[in-house]
Amino acid sequence: MSKRIGMEIAMAAAEAVALCRPDVIAAYPITPNTHIPEHLSEIVAEGRLDCEYLPVESEHSALSACTGASGAGARVFTATSSQGLLYMGEIVPIVPSMRLPVIMCLGNRAISGPINIWNDHSDVMAVRDMGWISMFASNGQETIDMVIQAFKIGEHADVMLPVFVNLDGFQLTHVVEAMIMPDQEEVDKFLPPRKPFAALHPDNVVSMGTLGLPDIYNEAKKAVDEAMINSKKVILEVWKEWEKMFGRKYEPIMGYKAKDADVLMMTMGSIGETAQAAVDELRKEGFKAGLLDLKLFRPFPVDDLKKAVKGVKSFIVIDRAVMHGGPVAPVCAEVKSILYDEPVRPVISNEIIGLGGRDVRVEDFMNMFKKAAKGKPERAYEIYGVRG
């Protein structure tokens, strides 16, 4: 029977991972996600989880060990942030190309420089196009749920892709919340042991990670691309099954007072919950604000976005990373690209907020809404609140 618990979200994520019975965990500590591998190693040390825990010597080796273990047919997990993700960045695109599922929790943290350990999305944005499925949790409950869902999605026979579960560093990882934690029996029912497509074993000899000459590379890439596109079907099925079993609903984009909004804003991750408070305040004043929470970032839910913004006059896309040299910030670039062919398009403004963990308050969101209501923005994108 699921039970209501109160604990730090990073630890809850670790508990959720343990419920999934991973076989191999290889992780390297980096603030702010350290509590996830730390708590997992505690769980293993207490004998609550039968698993090989590898205290590897670097993030690069962490993901390499996970890839090897996944190749051998094990269920694997790792966690990192920011610089750690960039250090394993060489291996990040290799994992989906080998169709090996690896589940990774990212405690989103700003990438250096300047060095900064606080929360923004620049780390996951740096690797967004490499072929990993990517989901964003907005609170502790979503973190637990998405971690368990991620194993089922990634290991699914029609998917076989690695999955990022993003949770905001410090804003979520170090925050204590009340959450409902499923029990082992429920998770075992939802998530059976992994059945790998192929595994490294002398009884069934296979060569993995082979050389892709120019005459086959295009086909290999297209195959992974199609797998990513088709994974959306599996993600929706898994979410439907989750709702049936646990009563909590997940959709790629979920609206908050969005149906009749004049000005709509889209966020990813926990900052959306602050934006919700702003929407409530504005609604009290008679301002028709609305919010979209983008939960599935990769594969990007193209049709869901088009549907969600239909009829809206003004659309604010919130980004939490800079795309240096680009026309707008990452998420907005994708939104504009999707809406380009639509016959009727909203006025789009792009606000980059909370870089490097800078606080964003309810009033800030209210200001952004009011500014957007005034008309077309002066510039294609703004770094909100920068002094000078």
Partner 1 sequence: MTEKKWPETWQNVNPGLMIFKAGSSRSYLTGGWRAQKPIWDNTKCIKCGVCYLFCPEACITEDAEGYFTADLNYCKGCGICYHECWPRAIKMVED
Partner 2 sequence: MKGIIENFDLFAPKLVDKEEYYASGHRACQGCGEALAIRLMCKALGKDTVVTNATGCMEVTATPYPTTAWKLPWIHVAFPNSAAVGSGVESALKVLRRKGRIADRDIKVVSIGGDGASFDIGIQAISGAMERGHNMIYIVYDNEAYMNTGIQRSSATPFGASTTTQPAGKESVGNKTWKKNMAEIMVAHRVPYVATACHSYPFDFMNKVKKARKVNGPAFIHCLAVCPTGWRCPSDACIKMGRLAVETGIFPLYEVEDGKYKMTIEMPKKLRPMEDYLKPQGRFRHLKPDEIEIFRGMAMLEYNKVLERIKHSKSWSEMKS
Binding region for partner 1 (CB under 8 A): 97-100, 160, 197-198, 204-210, 212, 215-216, 218-220, 222-223, 226
Which of 46, 207, 260, 341 touches partner 2 (CB under 8 A)?
207
Tell me how far apart the alpha carbons of residues 189 and 323 are, in angstroms, rounded to a whole number: 42
Distances, alpha carbon 370 to alpha carbons 264, 275, 288, 360, in Å:
11, 13, 10, 16
Strands 176-181 and 3-8: antiparallel
Contact call for residue 201 and partner 2 (CB under 8 A): yes
The residue written with tokens 């994708």 in the block is 334
Q: Is 192 in the site for partner 2 (CB under 8 A)?
A: no
Position 76 contacts partner 2 (CB under 8 A)? yes
Q: Which stretch binds partner 2 (CB under 8 A): 54-62, 131-139, 287-295, 350-358?
A: 54-62
* Candidates 10-18, 89-97, 130-138, 240-248; binding stretch for partner 2 (CB under 8 A): 89-97
Instruction: Tell me if 208 contacts partner 2 by CB under 8 A.
Output: yes
Task: State the maximum Cα–Cα separation within the chain, in Å, rounded to a whole number.
Answer: 69
- Give me 85's structure tokens: 């993700």
Of 31, 33, 67, 350, which one interacts with partner 2 (CB under 8 A)? 67
Q: How far is the CB of 55 from partner 2 (least distance, A)?
A: 7
Question: What does the DSSP 8-state code read for residue 66?
Answer: H
Q: Which stretch binds partner 2 (CB under 8 A): 2-10, 46-54, 232-240, 297-305?
A: 46-54
Torsion of CA 182, 159, 110, 279, to 10 degrees: -60
The single-letter code of the amino acid at 346 is P
The binder of 115, among partner 2, partner 1, none, by C-beta within 5 to 8 A per type, is: none
Instruction: Check residue 205 for interaction with partner 2 (CB under 8 A).
Output: yes
Q: How many beta carbons lie within 10 A of that of residue 8, not counting itself?
A: 18
Quick one: what does residue 222 bind among partner 1, partner 2, none, with the CB cut-off 5 to 8 Å set by partner type?
Answer: partner 1
Return the number of the residue (48 or 307) whose C-beta is nearest partner 2.
48
Stretch that binds partner 2, among 146-154, 195-203, 221-229, 307-315 (CB under 8 A): 195-203
Instruction: Give the one entry of partner 1, partner 2, none that residue 285 binds, where binding means its C-beta sits below a cut-off of 5 to 8 angstroms depending on kind.
Output: none
Q: Which ranges in 91-166 belong to alpha helices (H)?
A: 94-97, 122-126, 140-155
**Residue 22 backbone class (left: φ over 0; alpha: ψ -120 to 50; beta: rest):** beta
Among 336, 318, 369, smallest CA distance to 121 is for 318
Q: Does 280 bind partner 2 (CB under 8 A)?
A: no
* First and final C-alpha spacing in the chain: 55
Which spans of this chain sit near partner 2 (rule: CB under 8 A)?
23-24, 26, 50-52, 54-58, 60-61, 64-74, 76, 90-91, 94, 98, 193, 199-213, 216, 220
